[in-house]
């Protein structure tokens, strides 16, 4: 299998103006050193609390933004090399599904026009071929040909997200980024949309980057998991390894807060104390030490590096104690 998308030590910093006349400018480190490699047909789940850098990483992967440092590779090609000359071509290989199905579709356009727009922009295809392709894609996501002539307001949230999936796949991409694709949907609809995504991933051999804060969903679909906290990767590796035995205290807290119907999947609930620190002023040393139950003096001084422990990468000085707890 070939690597469809790869990130090497990706960083994305923003310069933020301070509030007030005498306030100093600050640097927001939205993503501060993330690396991954995803093959065709595999799913990488990126998880963490709001503000951890998940969506920023998605914008880097889709070439919406350029990394401050590090490199992104699409099928082995660096889109930002040669002055970005390859970005228009490589963008066809990476498509994204957004969180809100009510805001991601133009309410003034019919579904058929929405689906055909990526093809109109990127490919020279006749109107008849575009319509046939759109109707075929509608069928793949469980919608009927007559839906082609309808407007987005005539559909439910779940149906709109199916339309968004169909639009993302019109160019037959190699990589699909799904940014919280089911979090705005009813629980009963989430499973339907996830099943469609998984079926289409298998049929089209897609590399899927799935961004979510819902670990019950991630457990079901992910091959790899990347856990982020304040822009940094704190644990990363095979999904089964991490779910069966998380080694970072933050991952343990996330899993403990996830409801599970199956008693065998339930974990001890680890209550996080304190508030999430400001990303503009993160704590020294390990960013998680202000909320960690295993904190030691070293944690507030030295930031831990990602190291291979217990068959996964983990950034924690005392991962051994966390695993044994």
Model pTM score: 0.92
Residue 152 lies in a domain: no
Establish if 285 belongs to a structural domain.
Answer: yes
Distance in angstroms (rounded) separating the CA atoms of residues 65 and 80? 10
Q: Is residue 277 part of a domain?
A: yes
Residue bearing tokens 């779910």: 243
Residue 250 has pLDDT above 80, yes or no: yes
d(CA 146, CA 193): 20
Instruction: Map tokens 């019919």 to a residue.
Output: 110
- Across the range 122-151, mean pLDDT stands at 95
Tally of domains within the chain = 1
- 219 and 238 in contact (C-beta within 8 Å)? no
Structural domain contains residue 325: yes
Q: Average the pLDDT over each of 34-38, 90-94, 215-219 and give the range with the smallest value.
A: 215-219
Q: Is residue 177 part of a domain?
A: no
Which residues lie across from 31 on neighbouring strands?
12
Phi-psi map region of 221: left, alpha, beta (phi>0 left; psi -120 to 50 alpha): alpha
Residue 44 included in any domain: no
**Structural domain includes residue 250:** yes
Alpha-helix residue ranges (DSSP H) falling in the chain: 54-61, 87-91, 111-122, 127-140, 157-168, 187-204, 215-221, 239-244, 249-256, 319-324
- Read off the DSSP letter of residue 297: G
Least confident window among 21-25, 32-36, 84-88, 124-128:
21-25
Residues spanned by the domain of 306: 246-325
pLDDT at 9: 97
* pLDDT of 56 higher than 70: yes
Residue 56, in any domain of the structure: no
């Amino acid at each position: 299998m070939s690597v469809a998308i790869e990130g090497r030590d990706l960083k994305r910093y923003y310069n933020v103006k301070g509030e007030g006349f005498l306030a100093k400018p600050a640097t927001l480190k939205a993503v501060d050193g993330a690396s991954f490699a995803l093959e065709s047909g595999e799913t990488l789940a990126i998880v963490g609390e709001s503000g951890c850098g998940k969506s920023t990483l998605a914008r880097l992967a889709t070439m919406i933004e350029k990394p401050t440092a590090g490199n992104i590779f699409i099928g082995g090609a660096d889109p930002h090399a040669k002055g970005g000359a390859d970005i228009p071509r490589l963008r066809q290989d990476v498509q994204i599904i957004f969180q809100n199905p009510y805001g991601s579709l133009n309410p003034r356009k019919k579904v058929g026009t929405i689906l055909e727009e990526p093809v109109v922009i990127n490919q020279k295809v006749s109107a008849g071929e575009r319509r046939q392709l759109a109707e075929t894609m509608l069928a793949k996501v469980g919608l009927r040909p007559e839906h082609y002539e309808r407007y987005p307001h005539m559909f439910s949230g779940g149906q709109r997200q199916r339309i968004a999936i169909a639009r993302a796949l019109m160019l037959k991409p190699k990589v699909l980024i799904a940014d919280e694709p089911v979090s705005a949907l009813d629980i009963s609809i989430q499973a339907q949309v996830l099943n469609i995504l998984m079926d289409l991933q298998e049929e089209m051999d897609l590399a899927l980057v799935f961004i979510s804060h819902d670990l019950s969903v991630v457990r079901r679909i992910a091959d790899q998991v990347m856990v982020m906290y304040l822009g940094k990767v704190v644990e990363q590796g095979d999904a089964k390894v991490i779910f069966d035995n998380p080694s970072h205290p933050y991952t343990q807290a996330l899993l403990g807060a996830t409801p599970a119907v199956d008693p065998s999947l339930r974990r001890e609930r680890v209550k996080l104390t304190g508030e999430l620190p400001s990303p503009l002023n993160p704590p020294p040393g390990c960013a998680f030490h202000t909320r960690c139950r295993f904190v030691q003096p070293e944690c507030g001084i030295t930031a831990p590096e990602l190291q291979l422990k217990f068959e996964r990468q983990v950034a924690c000085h005392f991962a051994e104690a966390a695993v044994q707890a």
